[in-house]
Amino acid sequence: MNEWQPIETTWPPRDGTRILLTDGDNVFVGYWTGSCEFGGDRDPVPGWQIFKCDEDYWYSYGAENATHWMPLPEPPK
């Protein structure tokens, strides 16, 4: 499988496996977690946690608007 799949499909792994996620505008590496921090004053909830690099600083936050996913490609040999 190497094409984008709707996030509603039955397989996006929910075991911490890192995958590619998109909201239609951006592509992120992310994984499913039982306590996703979406920021603000909301309590952690299950969701997709993603990593974003902004001005040389990596941070993680929730991908509550993810619409599609796909497995990460195999690394080069």
Domain contains 30: yes
At 24-71, the pLDDT tens digits run 888 888 888 777 665 555 666 777 777 766 655 555 566 677 889 999
pLDDT above 90 (res 4): yes
Residue ranges making up the domain that contains 43: 5-66
Q: Looking at the 3D structure of the chain, how many domains does it have? A: 1
Is 76 inside any structural domain?
A: no
User: Is 71 a member of any domain?
Assistant: no
Strands (E), 1-77: 5-6, 19-22, 27-36, 45-54, 57-62, 68-71
CB 47 within 8 A of CB 7: no
Task: Look at residue 76 in the predicted model and tell me its pLDDT.
Answer: 94
pLDDT for 41: 59
pTM above 0.95, yes or no: no
